[in-house]
Structure 1
């Protein structure tokens, strides 16, 4: 059976169908996929001798902001963590928007990246300080949870009374 070329004659579906019609396989022993394949046959029959598809070259898709993005990443800007849950813009998108804004204002090309990175960095620091203020306010839920938590003795065993 090792030198058999039967896989080149017909498909696995036609061979199983032949076994069922000739009685070599009981209908109860047919594979699970058989009824699904019969109900939803493929558009093109999967044959061994089918010609290989024509290999087309992959077209390069580059956008105008890809060059700007590459400049930012090569300088080390815009590599912050991305929160996929929130709907906020990524650091790189903010950098590109600031870059386009400064470019339209007439800032020289060699200063665009550094100035836009500085502006976005300062905005990021403002957001971080606002977040710290919210956490440090005594009325916030986070502050209350942190005040109640005993982090020093978190792993010590407590007696439940």
Structure 2
């Protein structure tokens, strides 16, 4: 106000003058505390997270995109998790069997789940490399891709 930057005094000026703070508000940088260990934050995992991880590893992200404009939208993965827990509450205990049965139940409801091809071929390659020979599928593909070239014989001159 004295320098002429502000033409009118601000609203808080009279209040600050009438009720000054007990300590002068001065900013000081907090001192760093060396040697104190920070608390480790534990990861939070729910049972649904394991189901989702297995779903995405098996089926991928799915064909349908997320509809973020629809507040009631449920992704294929969320439907799978809900059906999984529903079947689990009915008494099924074996996780592998429960996973397969959940896929079948969703298929009966009209939701088609397609397995990821890359996961299957990677497991086939890993299995074959541990046995010491190449997988049958890769050999078949290599044979299909290669065209046998017959040596060209020039026609005999007449």
TM-score class, shorter: 0.3 to 0.5
Q: Which has the higher contact order (CA 8 A, sep 6+)?
A: 2
Whose helix proportion is higher, 1 or 2? 1
Which protein has the larger Cα radius of gyration, Structure 1 or Structure 2? 2
